[in-house]
Structure 1
Amino acid sequence: MTTEAHAAPRRPPLLAVVTLLTAVLTVLLIAFAWPSARSEPRDVPLAVAGPAPAVAQVKAALDQAMPGGFELTAVPDRAAAVQRIKDRDAYGAIVLDAAQPEVLTASAGGPAVAQVLTQLAGRMQTPAKVTDLVPLPKDDPRGAGLAAGALPLVLGGILAAAALTKLVRSGPKRMIGAITFAVTGGLALAAVLQYWLGSFEGSYLGNAGVIAMSIAAISLTLLGLEWLLGTPGLALGGAVMMLLGNPLSGMTSAPEMLPSGWGALGQLLPPGAAGTALRSVSFFDGAGAGRPLVVLTCWLLVGLLCCGLGALRSRGRAVPAGQEANPVPA
């Protein structure tokens, strides 16, 4: 009589499990709370129109009140300041008119920056009139829809890659599924945000296209990493997109409001690029969308490249296995 002994799998000690969970919870808190807690203006582009002595006086006052908070650009008149805002070269402007100073804002480009500029208008020596050149939609005056849409956008790409990896065996079919889901997900999210919540304006297809590019960039990159590195690759890519890409996207404020350097990093990841592109396409007729769309395109190409390398690697493994399974008879 043969008795098969089945050794019970070794389980980690309870203390190790609790320590790991505590570390994960701490990382999540830091990733999501730290950027918001340290949010303040840092080199925010701002135009100033007026006489040179008055411009210099304003610059000195801003440097004293918020050191390093604003990057001022002198412009000849109000029209030039308005153009810089609509081209997304500046978040706002100060027009130094002797009779009635004016502060120009664009809340659609960054509600947090517009709020800071509105506060500055009340602190000026002569209280300034505030004009919002590019306001947020009336149905969503605080921009809550766009800010809340960052998380579903990231989760959509991560969940698509995880589900396709688990449920679909064929690599090419996974890629087709990811691209198809990106299109349908982009159309669905844009419809909810634009027609139901009223958070978007402009072209519906343009907004949907930006969302689809972001979802596809994330899901294809994660699929490629899983193809190359296995489950650790999928986990690593998902962690980067969730713990860095989402909190550093600047959707709730602006990239220039995040801690130094981190806002720039966020704009190089799909969530941050998508947020900037969505603001440009939805509210500024596409002005300023070039760079973020290039970033999303680069991530798409990286994802396709990783998938291609994964396919070559899988094919290289399959050929020797096939040769061993079919030996040549003597």
Structure 2
Amino acid sequence: MSGTQHDEDAATADGEPRPGWTHTAKVLVSSLWFPALFFFGFLFCYLLAFHNPTPKDIRVAVPAPAASQVQGALDKAVPGGFEVRPVPGGDAALRRAVLERRAAGGYLPDAAHPVLYTAKAGGFEIEAVLQQVFTPLAERGGATLKQVELAPTAPKDGMGTSLFYLCLGLTIPSYIMVMMMLRATGLGRWKKVTTFVVSGAVMAVAAFYISLAMDCIVDRPICLLYMFMLSLAVSLTCYGLVPFVRQFFPGVAIVVFVLLSMPASGGAIPVEMVPSFFRHLHPYMPLGNLVDALRNEMYFDGVELFRPLLALSVWIAVGIVLICAGFFWERHRVKVARSGGDEELTPSDLEEAVQDPTFEMPQPMPVRASTHYIGASEPMLAGRVLDTGSQPLHGVLITVTTTDGRQLTRTRTDEHGEYRLTGLPVGFVNVIAGGPRRVPSIKRVYIKDGPVAHQDFVLRPRPQDPSPGGASATS
């Protein structure tokens, strides 16, 4: 007897089947993959990005004649931390460079009155680093550095991070909304898309005016459009991914829109102070592009908006393309299934297997027989349906009800005549098997946590139909 068969046949002293180690390993992997993803994601994305913010190539505008001298002094103080941008002219040119976002700060190295131009709205940490580095640089000449703030944040946004949390408050609910709408099997694809659009508009309006009431943002109503674009970018892309990544969708969405987007956003820590991997991601991720769009609109008179708005538009377009492609892909899958005898499979059935392990409660639902994948639910009830000649019956409808007749779920047998179900309540349930030209059979089965309940069926032909092999349909 093989080791696998030995595991399956092993039993405890009281006669109950004892799961083998392979089964236990599968259960643990299926149950713990999502927490493990979060654990390593936070370690390698958040902790790695935020544990030691270090300036890298922060652009500083300096009058052209003094550019090389200032660059040399900065390289000695913070090697690789600053990139001097020579500008023609003096005070006015430095101000323009900062306000047009061509530089994070400006430095006028006047021997008697050195001036540092900063923009707190561009990043509180960058402003602090500029003060820390340029103050001793000016004092070497015996002068006192004067700081001029060109772009202060909103009155109640002391740390300059309100925009980040505002954008985060639009991103995560947009993902969760997709997860919840997958459970709304009574709604079709386009009704769900309409829900995403309407909900995105409502969230944008609510988030903007609540933040405005807190006095932590600036009153620029055009920002409502940018916020709406982010919600669409996340929700449409997430929904479009579902048919293609299937049970891995929660993990894929969390990695893309949370674990990678947040460190690369520049909202909590400026991108000039995080590892290069996240700096390179910044121009492409939706969260960071909304942060840039809101900052530039609210505090810098709408400069440098082309790239962030283009990126958000591309994400929306990708979501629309994925949704359309998924529509045709699922139609193809349903057509193939129906040609194989499964007349009741619908696109909604294909969405039922996608669950978010962070908040999904067990629901009665089918588990694909003869299939196991990471993220799948373990079956609680399984069985096989045969005809009187011991041949598997494909496409037999399996219905599970409570003892008082309330339907819990249903599925159909696969090509091996097998079925699996999960999310069932503990206690007795009725299991009904019925197929075309077959006499239905009903069994009462006790469901409990742990061991899988097994219930097989042998279905006889209806009396008026000839039995397999020409024999009469008598029991």
Shorter-normalised TM range: 0.7 to 0.9
Deviations 1:248-305 (A, max 9, x none): 2110132111112321203311111111111111111211121111111111111010
Which is richer in strand? 2
**What pairs with 1:180-191 in structure 2 (closer than 5 Å)?**
180-191=198-209
Quick one: which of 103, 111, 133 aligns to 2:150? 133
Do the aligned partners of 2:156 and 2:215 also contact (CA within 8 Å) in 1? Answer: yes
Quick one: which of 239, 247, 251 aligns to 2:263? 247
Quick one: which of 208, 213, 222 aligns to 2:224? 208
- 1:222 maps to which residue? 238
Deviations 1:7-62 (A, max 9, x none): 89844489766798466424323322221113121111210026x2x332211010
Distance 1:147 1:20, change over 3 A: closer
Quick one: which of 255, 273, 280 aligns to 1:264? 280
Cα deviation, residue 237, structure 1? 2.3
Do the aligned partners of 1:88 and 1:288 also contact (CA within 8 Å) in 2? Answer: yes
Cα deviation, residue 131, structure 1? 0.4
Larger radius of gyration: 2
How big is the alpha-carbon RMSD for the aligned residues of Structure 1 and Structure 2?
2.6
Do the aligned partners of 1:150 and 1:246 also contact (CA within 8 Å) in 2? Answer: no
The one-letter code matched in structure 2 to 1:287 is V
Cα deviation, residue 313, structure 1? 1.1
- 1:113 maps to which residue? 126
**What pairs with 1:301-316 in structure 2 (closer than 5 Å)?**
301-316=317-332
Distance 1:24 1:134, change over 3 A: closer
Do the aligned partners of 1:202 and 1:283 also contact (CA within 8 Å) in 2? Answer: no
Question: 5+ unaligned residues in a row in structure 1: which ranges?
Answer: 1-5, 326-330
Do the aligned partners of 1:154 and 1:246 also contact (CA within 8 Å) in 2? Answer: no
Q: Do structure 1's residue 317 and structure 2's residue 330 form an aligned pair?
A: no
- 1:82 maps to which residue? 95
Quick one: which of 35, 47, 57 aligns to 1:43? 57
The one-letter code matched in structure 2 to 1:103 is L
Question: 5+ unaligned residues in a row in structure 2: which ranges?
Answer: 1-15, 344-475
Cα deviation, residue 89, structure 1? 1.1
**What pairs with 1:59-208 in structure 2 (closer than 5 Å)?**
59-76=71-88, 77-124=90-137, 125=140, 126-168=143-185, 169-193=187-211, 195-204=212-221, 206-208=222-224
Cα deviation, residue 166, structure 1? 1.7
The one-letter code matched in structure 2 to 1:198 is D
- 2:417 maps to which residue? none
Greater shift after overlay, 220-229 or 120-129?
120-129
TM-score scaled by structure 2? 0.62
Aligned-partner Cα distance in 2 for 1:167–1:238: 21
Instruction: Say which SS state the counterpart of residue 157 (structure 2) adopts.
Output: coil
Greater shift after overlay, 243-252 or 23-32?
23-32
Aligned-partner Cα distance in 2 for 1:211–1:277: 9
The percent of aligned pairs where both chains have the same amino acid is 27
Number of paired residues?
318
Distance 1:141 1:67, change over 3 A: same
- 1:328 maps to which residue? none
Cα deviation, residue 231, structure 1? 2.9
Distance 1:322 1:234, change over 3 A: same
The one-letter code matched in structure 2 to 1:63 is D
The one-letter code matched in structure 1 to 2:148 is T
Greater shift after overlay, 111-120 or 315-324?
315-324
Instruction: Say which SS state the counterpart of residue 47 (structure 1) adopts.
Output: strand
Do the aligned partners of 1:145 and 1:197 also contact (CA within 8 Å) in 2? Answer: no
Greater shift after overlay, 85-94 or 35-44?
35-44
Instruction: Say which SS state the counterpart of residue 42 (structure 1) adopts.
Output: coil
Do the aligned partners of 1:103 and 1:129 also contact (CA within 8 Å) in 2? Answer: yes
Do the aligned partners of 2:161 and 2:267 also contact (CA within 8 Å) in 1? Answer: no
Aligned-partner Cα distance in 2 for 1:99–1:218: 52
Aligned-partner Cα distance in 2 for 1:291–1:20: 34
Distance 1:280 1:315, change over 3 A: same
